Amino acid sequence: MKIQARMREFGPVVGGWVLLVLGFVVVIAGYVRLHGWQRGHITSDFYANVGVTLIGTAIVVLIIDRLNSARAAEATRAGLIRDMASSDNGLAVRAARELRAMGNLTDGSLDESDFSRANLEDASLEAMRAKGAKFQGCRLTRANLSRANLVGAVFNRADLSRCNFEMADLGSVSFVDAALADVDLGDARLVAAVLSGATARGADFRGSDLQGAQLDGADLTGAKMTGAKVGGARINNATKLPPGSPATMEGQGETQQWPEGTTW
């Protein structure tokens, strides 16, 4: 077994030396056959071939090095994304910081990633792009997600208390049963977002775009809504709204919605 292991270990090296020696033998034999043992033609016969060979070898080495570097970078990126999904807050936050330093927090590398049940409390994630990512049950208390692009992401049952989503793009995001108490959503885009059953007491929606959002069963007690666009947003009898709600509503029965163009 040891002999076989040694052969596997040194096989490529031995093969390389055999080919090198065989190459020299072929070159010398061919030269002797054409010119005998005269040395005068060596430079004129071989300098061009040697130069071309060296250039070709250099190109191959550079290509292989570039491919190896790309594979190493991809492995590093994938490992950091896995760490960012950790329930260990220190590990997850550190991974996010390293991904930002590598430029991968904002370049789309996190799109469709799964961060379910990750602990990203107090994480600095401003301008992060994670379109379609999954954050179910994630802990993002006090995290900074201002200007983030999270279109289509899922935050069902996530703890987002006191999180900063100012000017974030949250179009079609699902916040079903999420904790959104005291969240800053000022000037955020929440078009067609789903906040069914979400608890958003004291949240700041001032200047946000909630057109077409689903607010059925949401608790918006004490929320700041001045300037929020709510045209087409849907509520039901279980929705708790702060004072000053636009009076005009469309629809009959339990579910109603504000007319298009309505601003709080």
**pLDDT at residue 150 greater than cutoff 70:** yes
Distance separating alpha carbons of residues 162 and 184, to the nearest angstrom: 7
pLDDT at res. 36: 61
pLDDT above 90 covers a percentage of the chain that reads: 67
Distance separating alpha carbons of residues 80 and 92, to the nearest angstrom: 8
Tokens linked to 6: 């040694």
In the chain, the number of structural domains is: 2
**pLDDT at residue 57 greater than cutoff 70:** no
64 alpha-carbon distance from chain centroid: 27
pLDDT at res. 7: 44
Q: Are residues 146 and 217 in the same domain?
A: yes
**pLDDT at residue 169 greater than cutoff 80:** yes
H or E element: which one contains 98? Answer: helix 89-101
Q: Are residues 68 and 123 in the same domain?
A: no
Find the mean pLDDT for residues 95-121: 96
Find the mean pLDDT for residues 58-84: 80
Q: Are residues 183 and 252 in the same domain?
A: yes
**pLDDT at residue 160 greater than cutoff 60:** yes
Look over the chain and give the mean of its residue pLDDT values, rounded to a whole number.
87
- SS3 label, residue 154: strand
More confident of the two residues 80 and 55: 80
Predicted TM-score (pTM) of the model is: 0.75
Distance separating alpha carbons of residues 179 and 162, to the nearest angstrom: 9
Find the mean pLDDT for residues 1-25: 59
The length of the chain is 264
Distance separating alpha carbons of residues 182 and 164, to the nearest angstrom: 9
In which domain, by residue range, is 59 found?
Answer: 15-74
Q: Are residues 120 and 247 in the same domain?
A: yes
Whether residue 90 is contained in a domain is answered as: no
Find the mean pLDDT for residues 102-127: 96
Last residue of some domain: 74, 95, 119? 74
Q: Are residues 128 and 22 in the same domain?
A: no
**pLDDT at residue 203 greater than cutoff 90:** yes
Among 197, 254, 195, which residue's Cα sits nearest to residue 230? 195
Whether residue 7 is contained in a domain is answered as: no
User: Which residue has tokens 């959503």?
Assistant: 185
pLDDT above 70 covers a percentage of the chain that reads: 77
Q: Are residues 120 and 64 in the same domain?
A: no
**pLDDT at residue 226 greater than cutoff 60:** yes
Distance separating alpha carbons of residues 42 and 36, to the nearest angstrom: 11
Whether residue 238 is contained in a domain is answered as: yes
CATH number of the domain encompassing residue 158: 2.160.20.80
**pLDDT at residue 3 greater than cutoff 50:** no
Whether residue 95 is contained in a domain is answered as: no
Express each pLDDT in 242-253 by its tens digit.
999 998 888 877
Whether the CA torsion 184, 187, 189, 190 is positive or negative: it is positive
Beta strand 256-257 with 234-235 is antiparallel
Find the mean pLDDT for residues 93-97: 97
| C-alpha Rg value of the chain to the nearest Å | 32
Express each pLDDT in 211-221 by its tens digit.
999 999 999 99
**pLDDT at residue 49 greater than cutoff 70:** no
